[in-house]
Structure 1
Amino acid sequence: MRASTNKVFYLGENLSREQLDFFNQYGFIHFRNFIDKETLHRVLQEVNDVQEYLISNNIDKVNGIPLKFGQDTDGKLLIQRIAFASQYSRFLSGLLKDPRFSTIIKLLSPFKGRIGEFEKDGLVVNHYVNTVNSAYNRLGWHTDSPRDLFLGSRILPMLNVGLHLDNCPFENGGLRVLPGTHTQNLFRLLFRKKYFIDNRPDKNEVGFDIQAGDLTVHDGRLWHRVQQSAFEGEASRRRVIYIPIVTGAYQPKDANSATPFYHKLAKLKKNPNGRINWSLSEGKTAVAQKKIA
């Protein structure tokens, strides 16, 4: 559903009063043309190089965060979610030094924020594509707050910053948000919807008309989901880099970090009888075997 709250802005050296007011009221904001075509091309190449490195070295988990595997349109192995991707790319790590990110941090005011390159799930690359064996083509309703509870800390505001690498008009699915829900009480934050299980559209949700190079920012307490594309194959491809901007105590992760419980929540699925089963996404070995078969 489209809504009047879906307004596009342009990010300069400073946030305008209008931009601050918009974000504070609705909990999200959309900036057009954050990076140019040349930078976009380099980002896509770096993402591809990171994927090839992870596959070639049989890496299926980074800093305790599992990677999600599927198949591309040509049947080749595809990593559909990469955590801490900047750990394998100097260019992606350097991209986070763009001074405009410091401007975005001001959206957390009065809290002091920082780019969580080594916290949460780090710089995440999401790669949505509809194929027969795609394991990651949508994401149910959720907020990013429960991860704080599972990590033993109180819920603090954070920003989820998405750099979009493909054109994605509203009709092609993509990010959906419930405006204003970042100010809800704790009960509504935890129980308004069934985390990751509920994929149903909401009459109050807002979608986006995305152009490659755009930036979206939403408060981590905002209810949001990813709508599955109405198309299949190449037309359904959507790649997004997500960068967490966090507050509170510094909590970096490393190769010895345990897998957080909230990643298991994302694998909850309903069976035909309406009951909930634990359903683990296919690992790269299973996908490869299916490909050979």
Structure 2
Amino acid sequence: MASSYPTFNLSEKLSVEQVNFFNQHGFIHFKNFINNDTVTSIVQASKEVESAWIDADVKKINGVPIKYGKDLDGKKIVQRFAFINQHHKALSGLLLDPRLSALLPLAGEGSRLGSEEKDGMVFNHYINGPESSFTKMGWHTDGLRDIFYGGKLHPMLNVGIHLTSQKKENGGLRIIPGTHKQSIYQMLFRKKYFLDNNADRSEISVLPEAGDLTIHDGRLWHRVAESSIRGEESRRRVIYIPIIAGKYAPKNENSPTVFYQRFAGIVK
């Protein structure tokens, strides 16, 4: 699986083969979840939210810091939106697709889309330019948050809806398959969280086309590799929505910024 992996089609019920593949490897890739027209409308919606947030000088949404950067022309842009589903109907409507409900059993009984929890629907906009502040993200697992706060380690899956086609040189998601089954010790100490962005001999590149959907277990070791291409060809947009199990914990405008997000500057 170092260089390639099978892809699937998503319907309103997962097949046994799909469930088994995900359980073994901790990720799965579905083709053609949305069409090109929908991709275009979602990107346009993000630009409308971006314009409103820049005009209002929004710093946080529900306690989550918003990451700003510069486009290739030096214009200010939002590079990481949090809870964007709460700010545009085109994005909240995307969550109503019944095929997303088919993914919930992968996280176990009582799982749900985290549209009001964690960081909600996150919209990432990567661009490798001279003034970009968001080009890569070092190795990490999402399970660290539960461990840090002394809570039970619940499954948290990341559903990615990809709005840009990419090749390996575009950077993007790298995962180490099977590490969702690792010990707590390995989850804590296998990598230097966020600081280590070096390639791992066991990693694979997730290479979607625009409109594809991927899902990976947050307990996997994963990173976002920097594009080796600069300029317009490096532009990449992707939405992430969490699937959560455990106690319902919605956020609102009065929610505090959690500890680890105070150090967001280490994430480039």
Contact 2:49 2:87 in 1 (8 A): yes
Gaps of 5+ in 1: 270-280, 282-293
One of 233, 250, 253 as aligned partner of 1:252:
250
Q: Which whole-Å deviations, capped at 9, do the CAs of 1:8-47 have from their partners, x for residues lacking one? A: 1111221111111110000001111100111111111111
1:3 aligns with 2:3: yes
Please give the alpha-carbon distance, in whole angstroms, between the structure 2 residues aligned to 1:220 and 1:137.
Answer: 20
Residue matched to 2:67 = 68
Closer/same/farther in 2, CA of residues 264 and 195 from structure 1, 3 Å limit: farther
Q: Secondary structure at the match of 1:54?
A: helix
One of 165, 188, 206 as aligned partner of 2:163:
165
- Alignment map for 1:25-174 (pairs within 5 Å): 25-109=24-108, 111-174=109-172
Please give the alpha-carbon distance, in whole angstroms, between the structure 1 residues aligned to 2:243 and 2:81.
Answer: 18
Q: Secondary structure at the match of 1:69?
A: strand
Gaps of 5+ in 2: none
Closer/same/farther in 2, CA of residues 123 and 197 from structure 1, 3 Å limit: same
One of 230, 238, 250 as aligned partner of 2:236:
238
Q: Secondary structure at the match of 2:250?
A: coil
Per-residue deviation at 1:143? Answer: 0.5
Given the two structures, how large is their TM-score scaled by the length of structure 1? Answer: 0.88
Please give the alpha-carbon distance, in whole angstroms, between the structure 2 residues aligned to 1:125 and 1:77.
Answer: 16
Contact 2:72 2:131 in 1 (8 A): no
Q: Secondary structure at the match of 2:102?
A: helix
Please give the alpha-carbon distance, in whole angstroms, between the structure 1 residues aligned to 2:148 and 2:117.
Answer: 14
Please give the alpha-carbon distance, in whole angstroms, between the structure 2 residues aligned to 1:24 and 1:264.
Answer: 33
Per-residue deviation at 1:172? Answer: 1.4
Please give the alpha-carbon distance, in whole angstroms, between the structure 1 residues aligned to 2:22 and 2:161.
Answer: 17
- Alignment map for 1:137-216 (pairs within 5 Å): 137-216=135-214
Please give the alpha-carbon distance, in whole angstroms, between the structure 2 residues aligned to 1:266 and 1:29.
Answer: 28
Please give the alpha-carbon distance, in whole angstroms, between the structure 2 residues aligned to 1:114 and 1:42.
Answer: 25
Contact 1:141 1:193 in 2 (8 A): yes
Contact 1:150 1:262 in 2 (8 A): no
Per-residue deviation at 1:152? Answer: 4.5
Q: Which whole-Å deviations, capped at 9, do the CAs of 1:272-292 have from their partners, x for residues lacking one? A: xxxxxxxxx8xxxxxxxxxxx
Closer/same/farther in 2, CA of residues 84 and 180 from structure 1, 3 Å limit: same
Please give the alpha-carbon distance, in whole angstroms, between the structure 1 residues aligned to 2:92 and 2:52.
Answer: 16
Task: Tell me how many residue pairs correspond in the alignment.
Answer: 268
Contact 1:13 1:100 in 2 (8 A): yes
Deviates more, 1:176-185 or 1:11-20: 11-20
Query: In the alignment, residue 228 of structure 2 is paired with which amino acid?
Result: A
Contact 1:170 1:210 in 2 (8 A): no
Alpha-carbon RMSD: 1.5
Residue matched to 1:284 = none
Q: Secondary structure at the match of 2:110?
A: coil
Given the two structures, how large is their TM-score scaled by the length of structure 2? Answer: 0.96
Q: Which whole-Å deviations, capped at 9, do the CAs of 1:164-215 have from their partners, x for residues lacking one? A: 1111112211100000000001110111101000000000001022100011
